[in-house]
Structure 1
Amino acid sequence: MCDEKKVITVDDFDHRLMVNGLTTFRNELIREEKPTEDVDELILKVIDAPTKKEKRKADREAR
Structure 2
Amino acid sequence: EVDVMREQKYHVYLTADEQGRVIQSLIRLKNNLITEGRYTDAVDDVLCKVLSAKKKRQFII
Q: TM-score range by the shorter chain?
A: 0.7 to 0.9
In structure 2, the residue matched to 1:11 is 15
RMSD: 1.7
1:3 to partner: Cα distance: 2.9
1:55 to partner: Cα distance: 5.6
Bigger Cα Rg: 1
Q: Matched residues, percent identical?
A: 25
Partner secondary structure for residue 16 of structure 1: helix
Task: Output the TM-score relative to the length of structure 2.
Answer: 0.81
In structure 1, the residue matched to 2:35 is 31
Partner secondary structure for residue 18 of structure 2: helix
Partner secondary structure for residue 28 of structure 2: helix
1:22 aligns with 2:26: yes
Larger helix share, 1 or 2: 1
